[in-house]
Structure 1
């Protein structure tokens, strides 16, 4: 496998200056380009800029959306890897439309001799054509990596390069139209910078993409369901690859349940959820179960009961039934993160549930706590079925687990927004570059908004939400980024995809960019049925 050494970065400056227009050489740590601030591939461009690779056009811009042609990208890649003496004499009439006198001839002909490019069946290279993603991936990956296999007989010629990008963990753009997508200068920066070396790879491997990116290298390992996984009262839908409840003719109870469920989906958002703002007091009674897989085992009862709940503290049947409700919103693939199940109460319609990390933070273990009174009464507050709350709580585990946080980083003061910069700072730690909450932070929040939300909570003021009502699905979402992403995730799971252009709609649409989350949504909805 070929990997470019960091020392090779300096060589990129010359070809970018000559190939991509009126570029200027750049010293290290320059200010960001004015047209790349909050740009999806800003970090990749910044890495190249700070490495002395690019400084932009004479007007100071980078023009990240400008499309490259085939000759330009070939020159970029060849000069980034090979020494001048290796390709200096390579110019020849290697394609019918590439003459030895062309400025790009030595790069194209050398690439052909190295097996990096092959040209078209008619013997042309078409150097001035805009380069599409299939062609770009072939040039980039053939240059950086050895022994990429050919595509199968029944596959498109470029499929092997999409597969190699997946294998390397490198995103590509517009997964549904990957071959035809024309590559821009911003995307070129991502492809080149990502492949430079391991030191850079960790910093820029995953970016906040617009459009559909391929997120097939997920960390959850979801697999489509099979018919064997269906219960006796379920049928298997081949198209959805999911199990659904079926009602026998004349089974009024079953049909009533389905009607109630359908009505819930249609109307639940009229009554948003009320997520826990903190844990119940340690002085209150807690019934604690240990969790292993799908099973719960009584562990202990702590505290003193301060609220009368009848026999609910001792009613293990109710405890088990409530646990079954928790299981419905947490797929088995992720349920092993939960090691403790707690039951508490603070009375009706206060804190319904919460989740909290337990034990050694590096183990990534969580406790789920449920208000037994609210759960047993189906939540008498006007917020719809209690499952709403549980979906919200699951979103915290999904977005704040150790796969999403940088390992070994403890945050002493979550109000220090610069502690994890440029990533988001949370009480759970510093988010990884590719964490859902970090991408969400860069898309929708930023440091200034974090500070405004925190100040509003401290002052018990509604002003922040009222001034930004179009940005949040509920007023509770405006209290913090952790609650915002969890509330938006609840809307993603429970409702149809919004078509509006308000920020709150875009937040829900955000989750559809991740196929693994779309599949998770399908599983939860099917389980709740």
Structure 2
């Protein structure tokens, strides 16, 4: 997560009724697996994604409310059609603006339109400065228009999840100047989480006691067993991938689901972290307040969020966090 081309968050809304693959956000080829280093630490985000520009269509600079084209990548065929259709680029960006308030868009320096069909990626974010003050967001244009623009609110969910990564990993939440060896709190990969950061609270209260067990779950079978054992702690199965994806899924559930903490299980207590944060409540109100200005499908219906094995009607949709 420190490196720009390293395993970090990609919101991969992995929805599979049979295979239960669940949700994440990052431009990657695989489901987000924990990346362990020699000190037995793990990347908190998800997959890092491709290490080249494959699939990228157009790069924009974010300038206030506007996106200004910086680069068209060399593409052919269907991707060239997507590149020329700049009205769709603007439509996607306009949805991002409905979700990300003006004061937070300054944290986004770049916006990328890419094609996610090859690796089933719907979106990602990646830090663009070492101090975590600037981020790039990428949205897959093919995903965005599957079944119609923002069908069933799934694109909106992807953007919310990706935004959740930014607000829980940016410089006010994580200190990138502190090395892992000197970190007294949860080390995210981008840096050391600050004492009162939401991701540190999430880790200390809901991950620390099962961390060693999580690190040992290396095979797909082991990961499934880990989730089955602790499913009451997670709002979706993808949230069990690591703390970075967990908090992004918690934020997305907090925003899209009708208000309140509904039960006394660990998953609900994580949502309670958001309700105890005035800034998060303000963001939730902003996003939900835009529903009235949009179509009825602006946000997805909460549905069976606890089961985390279905989302809309798609078998596989991905989203991401860090194309590093």
Do both share a fold (TM > 0.5)? yes
Helix, strand or coil for the counterpart of 1:327? helix
Partner of residue 89 from structure 2, selected from 315, 319, 339: 319
CA RMSD of aligned residues (A): 2.6
Partner of residue 284 from structure 1, selected from 48, 55, 59: 55
Cα separation, partners in 2 of 1:437 and 1:507, compared to 1, 3 Å: same
- The question of 1:409 aligning with 2:175 is answered no
Q: Which residue of 2 aligns with 1:80?
A: none
Residue 302 of structure 1 deviates from its aligned partner by 2.7
C-alpha distance in structure 1 between counterparts of 2:216 and 2:152, whole Å:
27
Partner of residue 371 from structure 1, selected from 118, 125, 140: 140
Q: How does 1:401-440 map to 2 (within 5 A)?
A: 401-411=170-180, 419=181, 421-440=183-202
Q: TM-score, normalised by structure 2?
A: 0.70
Q: TM-score, normalised by structure 1?
A: 0.44
Residue 327 of structure 1 deviates from its aligned partner by 1.3
Helix, strand or coil for the counterpart of 2:84? coil
Partner of residue 527 from structure 1, selected from 284, 290, 313: 290
Is contact 1:450–1:480 with CA below 8 Å preserved after alignment? no
Cα separation, partners in 2 of 1:491 and 1:383, compared to 1, 3 Å: same
Is contact 1:325–1:387 with CA below 8 Å preserved after alignment? yes
C-alpha distance in structure 2 between counterparts of 1:410 and 1:340, whole Å:
27
Determine which structure has greater relative contact order: mean sequence separation of CA pairs < 8 Å that are 6+ residues apart, divided by chain length.
Answer: 2
Q: Which residue of 2 aligns with 1:63?
A: none
Residue 384 of structure 1 deviates from its aligned partner by 4.5
Residue 346 of structure 1 deviates from its aligned partner by 2.5
Residue 507 of structure 1 deviates from its aligned partner by 1.0
Q: Where do 5+ consecutive residues of structure 1 fail to align?
A: 1-270, 412-418
Helix, strand or coil for the counterpart of 1:298? strand
Q: Which residue of 2 aligns with 1:465?
A: 227
Q: Which residue of 2 aligns with 1:509?
A: 272
Cα deviations by residue, 1:144-201 (Å, 9 ceiling, x for unpaired) = xxxxxxxxxxxxxxxxxxxxxxxxxxxxxxxxxxxxxxxxxxxxxxxxxxxxxxxxxx
Residue 279 of structure 1 deviates from its aligned partner by 2.9
Is contact 1:273–1:388 with CA below 8 Å preserved after alignment? no
Is contact 2:72–2:83 with CA below 8 Å preserved after alignment? no
Cα separation, partners in 2 of 1:423 and 1:440, compared to 1, 3 Å: same
C-alpha distance in structure 2 between counterparts of 1:450 and 1:383, whole Å:
35
Is contact 1:322–1:376 with CA below 8 Å preserved after alignment? no
Is contact 1:379–1:386 with CA below 8 Å preserved after alignment? no
Q: How does 1:204-353 map to 2 (within 5 A)?
A: 273-276=23-26, 277-280=47-50, 281-302=52-73, 304-305=75-76, 308-309=78-79, 311-347=81-117, 350-353=120-123
C-alpha distance in structure 2 between counterparts of 1:279 and 1:314, whole Å:
25
Q: How does 1:489-504 map to 2 (within 5 A)?
A: 489-495=251-257, 496-504=259-267
C-alpha distance in structure 2 between counterparts of 1:420 and 1:334, whole Å:
30
Q: Which has the higher strand share?
A: 2
Cα deviations by residue, 1:383-435 (Å, 9 ceiling, x for unpaired) = 75310111111000000001111252255xxxxxxx35530011110011111
C-alpha distance in structure 1 between counterparts of 2:148 and 2:125, whole Å:
18
C-alpha distance in structure 2 between counterparts of 1:391 and 1:420, whole Å:
32
Helix, strand or coil for the counterpart of 1:356? strand
Flag the structure with larger Rg. Answer: 1
